[in-house]
Chain A
Amino acid sequence: MDADTADTSTPAAAAVPPIIDPESFHDFEGFRETTLSLFTDPEHNAALRATGRLIFTMASEGDNEWPAEPEGALRHQCRAAVADLRFLQGFLGMLGRPLECARAGHDGHLARLALRLSGQVSEVADVLDRELGAWRGEE
């Protein structure tokens, strides 16, 4: 590495989680980022990302003979959002587990923040859950 251009900003050859613009969220359907984050090999990561997107696109064509959503499309999608929120609540809770929170410096600070955000995500999920009510379409 050259002395004047020592690169301290560009990650090595590893795939990292993307920056998602919420307005383009549909481009990121498929696998969870927490799952894809394990696949640091860029080629493998891109392949899975593309596969996930393709599967979602094909499923969304609407030209299939699958059962209709029991509660209607909007409530069905809200249920999915609640499930994904609960997942993130748990993941953030894991990042903020006591062992991590006890660490010194920025890592510990971040862990304590993750724990706090886990509570906030829980509140968001609770609100939507309450609005949806208990009926899940099961007979």
Chain B
Amino acid sequence: MSNRPQSTPSTDTPTTPGAAVPAVIPPARFEDFEGFRETTLAPFTDPEANAVLRGLGTLLYDMALEYTAHWPHEPCGAYFHQVRAVLADLRHLQGWLAHLAAEVSASVLDFEEERVAAVCGSLAADLKTAGDTLESQIPWAVDPDAPLPLAEVFLRCDPLPFEEQRAAARAWVLKLLTRGAGEGDGNTRPLRELRELADRVGSFSFYHVLGLEMLALLREGKTAKAFASINGPALTAHFLRAADVPAEVRAHYAGKGE
């Protein structure tokens, strides 16, 4: 990590002779500003107090980066975990901007401040839209009943015995389907993704069980013709052609993909 902010206010945190003001953050250097939120640091106009907290935040972040190996792994993986953190921070800022907009009626503002407050109101709405967009992509972050990402389900279920894998796969696929994944041709995307992941693993894995269970569920709800139109029989045969498919798996799904 380069160009860490100094523990005393620098060009990143311009000050009057006596007051610390919020930093000017170049987005490309965002990592130098982990730690406390600027909205939290803002009340600390005392430059020394501000710099101490800034330094503490940086220190804790750097130490945490070194120490994360000792803590529980992020459910859903590091990437989704970070996305989830961004969503939380977006919602926080959305609230802050709405609060600043509400100052019009809560405080006595001058003309210029009133104009800025009005802008804050419309920007809060823009951030809400951005947050909603992100939230729709990671529904499990806000809804414990939403299906988890494939990678996380795989991590949890791949080591299980077949019958437990099958039950977990069925539960996951049902959640997916009840949320509209199977509407129209909406089931082709998850099926394609499952096939790609299964092929990438090579030998038999939980991805095969997920694919086979999804196909079995779709077959239950469709006519043979409709099932054939989504390439169901061929896909079932493809999943069962994988190397080292256990006999009990082959026996269970035999005849279910026709």
Contacts and interface: CB of A to CB of B under 8 A. Distances in A.
A and B from one assembly? yes
Given A22-B128, A40-B72, A69-B21, A32 B103 contact: no
A42 to B, nearest CB: 8
A90 B117 contact: no
A6 B64 contact: no
Nearest to A45: B71
A70 B36 contact: no
B258 interface: no
Given A3-B164, A35-B57, A113 B72 contact: no
B15 A95 contact: no
A78 to B, nearest CB: 6
Interface string B17-45: 11101111111111101111111111111
A67 B19 contact: yes
A8 B156 contact: yes
Main secondary structure of the interface of A (DSSP, over half): helix
A47 B70 CA distance: 17
Interface string B83-98: 1111111111111111
Interface string A16-51: 111111111110111111111111110010001000
B22 A83 contact: yes
Contacts of A30: 36-37, 40
A79 B71 contact: no
A84 B137 contact: no
B241 interface: no
B79 A95 contact: yes
Nearest to A120: B130
A107 to B, nearest CB: 6
Contacts of B85: 17, 32-34, 36-37
Nearest to B99: A25
B64 A38 contact: yes
A74 B42 contact: no
Nearest to B24: A83
A32 B37 contact: yes
B202 interface: no
B66 to A, nearest CB: 10
B191 interface: no
A14 B21 contact: no
A92 to B, nearest CB: 6
Interface in A98-139: 100, 104-107, 109-111, 113-114, 117-118, 120-124, 127-128, 131-132, 136-139
Contact of A66 (B17, B45, B53, B157): B45
Nearest to B148: A8
Nearest to B140: A9
Contact of A138 (B14, B130, B134, B156): B14
A91 B82 CA distance: 9
Nearest to B167: A3
B92 A59 contact: no
Interface in A1-17: 1-4, 6-17
B38 A78 contact: no
Contacts of B171: 6, 8
B41 to A, nearest CB: 7
Contacts of B147: 8-9
19 contacts: A6-B157, A6-B168, A16-B75, A17-B85, A17-B141, A29-B40, A31-B37, A32-B37, A40-B74, A66-B19, A78-B120, A80-B42, A84-B39, A88-B30, A105-B197, A106-B193, A107-B151, A121-B127, A121-B130
Top 7 closest pairs, chain A to chain B, by CB: A25-B95, A90-B30, A11-B75, A22-B95, A90-B27, A6-B168, A14-B72
